[in-house]
Amino acid sequence: MRNRMARMAAAIIACTGTLFFGSLLQSAVAQDTANLPYMNPKLSPEQRAADLVRRMTLAEKATQMQNNSAALVDETIVLTFQLQKIPEPPASRSSSPSAGP
């Protein structure tokens, strides 16, 4: 029984140590976004965009090129608009004299 408790305590300590080490490693790897050029409002938009695009992976750039947004208009509105008759343009008045009645 005592041996089992010792193994459980060792496992808990090992898991806790792993989680603690992982959190330290994550904070060491994470960048401070306050110091990144694309977050600096003093730089021009062109400089900020160039910095951000340079940091993006190819997959992130490809994702930005896709349009997966939902339609902003209801389909019934579009269908109603398509079924309406398009009005004829007004007849233009010609400047040439007419042929008479």
Report if residue 54 sits inside a domain: yes
**What is the domain count for the chain?**
2
Domain containing 51 equals: 32-64
**7 and 24 co-located in one domain:** yes
Same domain, 45 and 20: no
Instruction: Report the alpha-carbon distance of residue 101 to residue 94 in Å, rounded.
Output: 16
Whether residues 18 and 41 share a domain: the answer is: no
Higher per-residue confidence, 21 vs 51: 51
- The whole-number average pLDDT for the span 52-68 is 88
The tokens of 62 are what? Answer: 């490809």
Token pair listed for 73: 């208009």
Alpha-carbon Rg of the chain, whole angstroms? 34
pLDDT in tens, 7-47: 888 888 887 877 776 666 555 555 667 789 999 999 999 99
pLDDT reported for residue 4:
85
Among candidate residues 29, 64, 67, 69, the one with its CA nearest the CA of residue 49: 64
